[in-house]
């Protein structure tokens, strides 16, 4: 399975971090960080672009050398230069980089001046007040590092939603190609649109002979099968994400979706409403005595307790139930509500589309306005606008507006 853009970006970020710890040329470090930003934020898969023979050097900040490294990463899953740098960098320094508030420069200073090789070394130095004595640190920074160390100890590793979306898109597309699949929905904090997600919970309704569990554990990105059963399996992906897939009967799909979407506090509040009306609500449905009276859809679950449907993003037990009872739930913003864009680059600096192409795209989206915000010429963007090109660009915009 080819690498996702997020994985290519992570490789470049890690390379930049390790090179910065070594004290490498700042321009070289910046080049890898810029490449990570370009690849990580690009909407089209690098793997697809390479397969289709597209020229990666047309992307902002990507020259021949970086394009070659991206192709190597996508083709082999490895970056030789990163492996070289990792081999000569103490492994513990990579772990120190995971501590919030510690960047490559600080890690390098801690390593060189206090001989810190591990998290335990860092904790000891903080307790003994050694960090505050380093130039550029001080008492406040030492206290911050202590706080971050406390949070780090046993802190749950979470994945940014944007990264998770890329992983989920590939996995669900793979699962949907299996036979007998009726519905697939990602639940949990992912569905609630949280900034980061822990594990992924996927609910599936399928025919009995679908073989969805066998297909799931055979996915190319699975590196560990934690458990496998007929109705539930758990795996760990190459990205580190743990994924649960549950096969749920259609009669309970809505109840299960409500239960596994959460949040926990929201679910408890809904169950309490049910209890007041003599109902028991769980992942199998809404029950009156032993009879299931609702649960095929989430709408049924909410209706059973006298509530309208509540969007997943609102389910945090922060007043949404009271608002629903008063018919005053807030309306969520969608892409259709976006009226324009105030930050757009074109080929005139480091974008990859012409002025007219951007204007046409904005019109197709139904935008009312579009603001062009090019880079000026400076060290990191050599192709930025100088005074002469800026004036020419303004004239081109005026002409296009006419």
- Residue 100 — very low, low, confident or very high, per pLDDT cuts 50/70/90? low
Residue at 258 is within a domain: no
For residue 45 the two structure tokens come to: 């898969």
How many residues would you count in the chain? 402
Average pLDDT of the residues in 282-288: 96
With contact defined as beta carbons under 8 Å apart, do 302 and 310 qualify?
A: yes
What's the domain range around 112? 5-152
CATH number where 115 lies: 1.10.150.110
Q: How far apart are CA 139 and CA 130, in angstroms?
A: 10
pLDDT at 121 over 90: no
What would you measure as the largest C-alpha separation in the chain, in angstroms? 79
| 3-state SS assignment for residue 372 | strand
Q: What is the pLDDT of residue 331?
A: 92
Q: Return the axis-axis angle of helices 253-261 and 264-276, rounded to nearest 10°.
A: 130
In this structure, the answer to whether residues 56 and 114 fall within a common structural domain is yes
Tell me if 253 is assigned to some domain.
no
* pLDDT above 70: residue 221: yes
Residue 254 lies inside a defined structural domain of this protein: no
The answer to whether 8 and 93 have CB atoms below 8 angstroms apart is no
User: What is the rounded CA–CA span in Å between residue 293 and residue 287?
Assistant: 6
* Cα–Cα distance measured from residue 244 to residue 226, given in angstroms and rounded to the nearest whole number: 10
pLDDT interval class at 353 (50, 70, 90): confident
Domain annotation covers residue 330: no
Q: Out of 278, 298, 325, pick the residue that ends a domain.
A: 325
DSSP string, 303-317: HHTT-----GGG-SS
Q: Assign 218 a pLDDT band (cuts: 50, 70, 90).
A: very high
pTM reported for the whole predicted model:
0.74
Find where tokens 């749920």 sit. 248
Task: Note whether 96 and 227 are same-domain residues.
Answer: no
The pLDDT assigned to 96 comes to 78
Domain boundary among 152, 177, 206: 152
Q: Are residues 141 and 228 in the same domain?
A: no
**226 and 198 within one domain:** yes
Q: Which of 126, 152, 178 is the last residue of a domain?
A: 152
Tokens for 76? 């082999």
Of the listed ranges 161-170, 226-235, 276-285, 369-378, the one predicted with least confidence: 369-378
In the chain, the number of structural domains is: 4
Secondary structure of residue 79 in the 3-state scheme: coil
Tens of pLDDT, residue by residue over 38-65, are 898 888 899 999 999 999 998 878 899 9
Q: Kindly report the average pLDDT of the chain as a whole number.
A: 89
Q: What percent of the chain has pLDDT over 70?
A: 96
Shared domain for 65 and 133, answered yes or no, is yes
């Amino acid at each position: 399975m080819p690498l996702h853009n997020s994985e290519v970006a992570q490789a470049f970020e890690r390379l930049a971090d390790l090179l910065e710890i070594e004290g490498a040329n700042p321009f070289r470090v910046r080049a890898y960080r810029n490449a990570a930003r370009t690849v990580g934020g690009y909407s089209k898969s690098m793997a697809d672009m390479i397969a289709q023979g597209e020229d990666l050097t047309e992307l902002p900040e990507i020259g021949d050398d970086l394009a070659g490294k991206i192709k190597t990463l996508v083709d082999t899953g490895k970056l030789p230069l990163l492996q070289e740098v990792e081999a000569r960098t103490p492994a513990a320094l990579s772990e120190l980089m995971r501590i919030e508030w510690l960047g490559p420069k600080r890690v390098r200073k801690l390593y060189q001046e206090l001989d810190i090789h591990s998290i335990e070394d860092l904790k000891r130095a903080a307790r003994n007040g050694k960090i505050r004595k380093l130039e550029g640190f001080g008492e406040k920074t030492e206290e911050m590092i202590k706080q971050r160390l406390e949070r780090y100890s046993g802190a749950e590793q979470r994945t940014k939603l944007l990264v998770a979306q890329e992983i989920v898109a590939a996995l669900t597309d793979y699962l949907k190609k299996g036979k007998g699949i009726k519905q697939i929905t990602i639940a949990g904090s992912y569905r609630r649109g949280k900034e980061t997600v822990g594990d992924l919970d996927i609910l599936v309704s399928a025919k009995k002979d679908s073989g969805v569990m066998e297909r799931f554990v055979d996915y190319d990105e699975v590196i560990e099968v934690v458990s496998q059963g007929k109705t539930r399996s758990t795996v760990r992906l190459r990205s580190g994400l743990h994924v649960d897939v549950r096969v749920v009967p259609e009669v309970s799909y809505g109840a299960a979706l409500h239960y596994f979407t959460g949040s926990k506090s929201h679910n408890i509040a809904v169950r309490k409403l049910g209890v007041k009306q003599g109902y028991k609500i769980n992942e199998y449905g809404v029950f009156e005595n032993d009879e299931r009276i609702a649960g095929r859809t989430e709408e049924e679950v909410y209706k059973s307790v006298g509530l309208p449907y509540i969007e997943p993003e609102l389910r945090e037990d922060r007043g949404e139930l009271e608002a629903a009872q008063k018919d005053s739930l807030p309306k969520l913003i969608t892409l259709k509500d976006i009226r324009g864009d105030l930050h757009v680059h074109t080929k005139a600096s480091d974008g990859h589309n012409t002025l007219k192409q951007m204007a046409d795209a904005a019109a197709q989206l139904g935008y009312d306005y579009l603001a062009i915000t090019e880079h000026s010429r400076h060290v990191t963007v050599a192709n930025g606008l100088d005074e002469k090109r800026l004036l020419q660009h303004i004239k081109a915009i005026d002409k296009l507006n006419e």
